[in-house]
Structure 1
Amino acid sequence: MTAGVEYTIDELAREAGTTVRALRVYHERGVLPSPQVKGRTGYYGTDHLNRVHTISRLLSRGIKLNGIRELLEAWDRGDDLGDILGVSEGDEPELTIASGADTIAATALGELYSDVPNGLARVVQAGLYEPVDATTYRVADRQLVRFADELSEAGVPHTEVLNEVERLRADCERIARRCADLFDRTAGQDFRSSERTPDDRAELARRLTVATSAPGRAAADLTHRLLVRYLELDSEFAEVLAES
Structure 2
Amino acid sequence: MEDLARHSGATVRTIRAYQDRGLLPRPGRRGRANLYDDSHLTRLRQISALLERGYTLASIKELLAAWDEGRGLSGVLGLVSEVERPWSEEVPERLSLDELDGLFGKGSARSEDAVAEAVELGVLVPLPERPGEFLVPSPQELAVAAELHRAGVPLLALTGHLRELRAQVEHIAARFMDFTGQHIFGRCPQSGPTDEEASEAAGLVRRLRPLAKQTVDAELARAMRTFASRSLREHLRQGAYGAEGEGGGGGGGQGVGQPGAGIAEAADSTETSASDEAAGSAEAADNAPVTEPVLLPAGTLASVRALVGAEQAAAFIASAAEREVHARTMDRLAAGS
TM interval, short-chain normalised = 0.3 to 0.5
**TM-score, normalising length: structure 2:** 0.35
**TM-score, normalising length: structure 1:** 0.46
Q: Which protein shows a greater Rg?
A: 2
